[in-house]
Structure formats: C-alpha cells, structure tokens
Structure 1
Amino acid sequence: MVGDKQFLIDLAKAKMPFGKYKGKDLIDLPEHYVVWYHAKGFPAGKLGKQLGLVYELKLNGLEYLIRDIKKKF
C-alpha cells in the first residue's frame, strides 16, 4: 500500500485530524511529534500508515518528495 501512487497523493493532502497540530499537513508536523508518535505507537488505519511513512521520510530526509507531490496536486 505504501508504494501506491494514490497513497502518496493522499499523504501529500492529509492534515492532522486532532490534537495540538489539528489542521496541519502531516508532512509538516514537527519531527519531535512524529518521533513521539513512533515511540507511543501510531493510530490504527490509514492515518497510522501515513504517520509511519512520514516518520520514515523525516528519518531519511526525504520529506521533499511529498512536498513536490503537494505542488502538483
């Protein structure tokens, strides 16, 4: 699923649905917050998968890939 083009497009458009960063693009969440979620455990479902990918992208300095997709869609 993570390699799916639509999943990446959806991630580029996704916003945090609750909490302190409600309404903020997932890819723009502060790194410390995503790392905290990684330690705590990501929520179930699509949001959890998206946050997991955001964690991996931030860990590897690849957030720009999703930001490039955001510009196109």
Structure 2
Amino acid sequence: MNPEDLEKLVTLRMPFGKHAGCLIADLPGPYLNWFAREGFPNGQIGRLLQLMHEIDHNGLSELLDPLRRGS
C-alpha cells in the first residue's frame, strides 16, 4: 500500500455499479464484502476497493477522518 492510497479513498468516486459516484471511503460494508466474495476488479480501483474492504472489515474507518478534513 502506498500512503497516497489512503488519500485516494477519500477523494476518488466509485466509477461504476450500484454505488457509482459514491466516495470509495463511503461505500457500504456489504458492497465491499460482495467484491471480496466475487472478486475485486483489476487495476487501481480493485486495489483501492480491497484496501477499503480491509479497513472497513477491521473497524478502522475512523482512521480516514483526518484525511477527510484535509480534503
């Protein structure tokens, strides 16, 4: 993981699917769990979704709050 990836979670929006337009950091846990079961897409978006899933699954979403304030 690159430190820049955490910043991307609070600035990039989901480009497709049911939650298109939603910040990756704001995606609901069940949606992230679905990707974990079905497979993450290739490329940057898949890497970020996987990172967000790990953060959400481990109850660490509050770690992104300072980055949100800085955005």
Normalized against structure 2, the TM-score is what?
Answer: 0.90
2:65 pairs with one of 50, 58, 67:
67
Q: Quick one: distance in 2 between partners of 1:7 and 1:51?
A: 10
Q: Aligned residue for 1:21?
A: 19
Residues paired across the two proteins, number:
71
Instruction: Name the aligned partner's letter for residue 62 of structure 1.
Output: L
Give structure 1 stretches of 5+ with no counterpart.
none
Distance 1:10 1:44 in 2: 16
TM-score when normalising by structure 1: 0.88
Runs of at least 5 residues in structure 2 that lack an aligned partner in the other structure = none
Letter in 1 for 2:31: Y
From 33, 45, 59, the equivalent of 1:47 is 45
CA RMSD of aligned residues (A): 1.0
Q: Which amino acid aligns with 2:13?
A: K
Superposition misfits of 4+ residues, deviation over 6 angstroms = none
